[in-house]
């Protein structure tokens, strides 16, 4: 029962107030809701600013999401890793300078100066391993972006279908208010004509007031949902119902979990990245060797002339198992965690897919039953209303029939929205973006 009705306060037997109740429901109904022109203009404005599809709403939400910034950061890190792996050197070169003389010894004028460049070299297989690790990091970053978009798509789908359900609730509440306002006016006319008792008019107005209170609550809930939608997407309105229905149309009701599911791909790429990191560590058991190329200027002192020479040196660090084993243990642990997470993720996604399929079938059955129940109760209410107008049925019986029909209509609308949401959740479980 819902609506925006009168403030009714008639005195129990005052004939001078006999016309007041009939006027008050109509006046209150007008006061409780915006004018038709205002509602129409607001609806037109929302339609003009509404996205044409759920994909457009997702793009708008992605531009505002923190996850998009995180994905950009991961992509930049992966590109930096690629750049490092493509370098000719294992690390930045260094400038080497040295000078020696015998000033504090024999002081014969001997001097030796040397300048050179020390270049760290890749170990055998190290550069290829770093390149493979960089490619794995880039693939993981791309998979993480798609997985983040899928998670955001789930939020957008839930919010959009939540708006659909609340809009249906508001529409049903407004229809109930209009119906009860007409009934209250009719009852008041019959009371004035002496066909019905004063108590019947009071009951009709009370039902109208209850419907008005329910309508106000439904509108408040819709406004809160619209505010959440604007926060999520930055858009004034949700896509039209036709676009939502197209996204929620079931595409697979019996197939297995798609191997291209973004969450599954992310877990697989995380395992691959951990594996490549372990291979890189195993190819880097010691520090990079250094090749130094330089020039040396020698002044022997005395009558001997100075001379120059080219210097080539190679520095080969030794490896250490004590240093390597803790790093290998960490890498092995990360690989084991990533592989376990991939397996658990697959199991979770398969369970969610099975649950989504079952929920869709259940929602379909409930929506079919709800539509049939609403049709039957509307027909029953229409029959009882004709009987009431003929004076064959008391008002309480009609009010109960109208309340049952309104409740059934509201439940049917809610179940239809729930069916759409179940279809959208199946798309989500399949890993499909709008």
pLDDT digits (tens, 9 = 90+) for 291-327: 999 998 887 776 778 788 898 988 888 877 777 888 8
- pLDDT at residue number 71: 92
pLDDT given at position 28: 40
pLDDT at res. 18: 37
Determine the pLDDT at residue 10: 38
pLDDT of 334: 94
Q: What percent of the chain has pLDDT over 90?
A: 42
How confident is the model at residue 36, as a pLDDT?
Answer: 44
Contacts of 256 (CB under 8 A, 6+ apart): 350
Where do we find the tokens 């020390």?
Answer: 118
Question: b/e string for 277-315 if b means 16 or more Cβ within 10 A?
Answer: bbbbbebbbebbebbbebeeebeeeeeeeeeeeeeeeee
Q: Is the pLDDT of residue 408 over 80?
A: yes
Please count the residues of the chain. Answer: 434
Higher pLDDT, 203 or 254: 203
Q: How far is CA 254 from the centre of its chain?
A: 25
Encoded tokens for 150: 């899928």
Q: How distant is the alpha carbon of residue 410 from its chain centre?
A: 28
Which pLDDT score is estimated for 19?
Answer: 36
Residue 426 has pLDDT above 50, yes or no: yes
Q: What sign does the CA torsion over 177, 179, 183, 186 have? A: positive
Confidence (pLDDT) at 254: 62
Phi and psi angles of residue 274, each rounded to the nearest 5 degrees, phi first: -65, -35
Edge-first strand order for the sheet with 290-299 is: 94-101, 111-120, 290-299, 307-315
Pick the range with the lowest mean pLDDT from 26-35, 97-106, 119-128, 219-228: 26-35
Asked if residue 383 has pLDDT above 80, the reply is: yes
pLDDT band at 394 (very low <50, low <70, confident <90, very high): confident
Give dist(CA 54, CA 51) in Å, integer: 7
Q: How far is it, in rounded angstroms, from Cα 328 to Cα 287?
A: 15
Range name among 19-33, 147-161, 260-274 with the lowest pLDDT average:
19-33
pLDDT, tens digit, 9 for 90 and up, residues 25-64: 443 443 344 444 444 454 444 444 566 788 899 999 999 9
pLDDT at residue 17, as a whole number: 39
Give me the phi and psi of 65, to 5 degrees please: -80, 145
197-238 per-position pLDDT tens digit: 888 889 889 989 999 999 999 999 999 999 999 999 999 888
Mean pLDDT within 177-200:
87
Q: What is the dihedral of CA 50, 53, 54, 57, to 10 degrees?
A: -40
For residue 89, pLDDT over 70 is answered with yes
């Amino acid at each position: 029962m819902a609506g925006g009705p009168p403030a009714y306060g008639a005195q129990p037997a005052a004939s001078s107030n006999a016309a007041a109740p009939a006027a008050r429901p109509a006046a209150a109904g007008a006061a409780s809701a915006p004018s038709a022109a205002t509602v129409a203009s607001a609806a037109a404005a929302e339609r003009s600013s509404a996205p044409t599809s759920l994909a457009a709403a997702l793009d708008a939400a992605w531009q505002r999401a923190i996850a998009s910034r995180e994905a950009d950061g991961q992509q930049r890190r992966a590109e930096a890793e690629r750049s490092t792996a493509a370098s000719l050197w294992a690390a930045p070169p260094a400038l080497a300078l040295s000078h020696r003389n015998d000033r504090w010894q024999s002081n014969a004028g001997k001097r030796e100066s040397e300048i050179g460049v020390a270049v760290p070299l890749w170990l055998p297989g190290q550069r290829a391993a770093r390149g493979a690790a960089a490619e794995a990091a880039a693939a993981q970053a791309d998979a993480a972006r798609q997985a983040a978009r899928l998670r955001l798509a789930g939020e957008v789908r839930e919010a959009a279908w939540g708006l659909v359900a609340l809009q249906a609730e508001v529409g049903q509440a407004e229809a109930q208010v209009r119906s009860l306002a007409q009934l209250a006016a009719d009852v008041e006319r019959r009371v004035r004509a002496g066909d019905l008792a004063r108590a019947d008019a009071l009951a009709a107005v009370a039902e109208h007031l209850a419907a008005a209170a329910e309508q106000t609550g439904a509108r408040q809930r819709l406004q809160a949902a619209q505010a959440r939608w604007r926060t999520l997407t930055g858009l004034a309105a949700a896509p039209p119902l036709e676009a939502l229905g197209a996204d929620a149309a079931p595409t697979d009701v019996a197939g297995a979990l798609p191997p291209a599911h973004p969450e599954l791909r992310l877990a697989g790429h995380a395992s691959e990245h951990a594996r490549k990191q372990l291979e890189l560590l195993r190819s880097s058991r010691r520090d990079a060797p250094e090749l130094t190329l330089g020039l040396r200027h020698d002044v022997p002192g005395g009558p001997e002339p100075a001379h120059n020479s080219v210097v080539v040196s190679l520095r080969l660090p030794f490896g250490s198992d004590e240093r390597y084993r803790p790093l290998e243990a960490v890498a092995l642990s990360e690989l084991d965690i990533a592989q376990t997470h991939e397996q658990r993720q697959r199991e979770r996604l398969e369970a969610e897919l099975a649950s989504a399929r079952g929920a869709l079938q259940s929602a379909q059955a409930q929506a079919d039953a709800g539509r049939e129940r609403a049709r039957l109760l509307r027909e029953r209410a229409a029959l009882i209303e004709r009987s009431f107008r003929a004076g064959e049925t008391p008002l309480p019986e009609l009010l109960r029939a109208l309340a049952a029909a309104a409740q059934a209509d509201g439940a049917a609308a809610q179940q239809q929205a729930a069916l759409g949401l179940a279809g959208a959740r199946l798309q989500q479980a399949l890993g499909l973006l709008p």
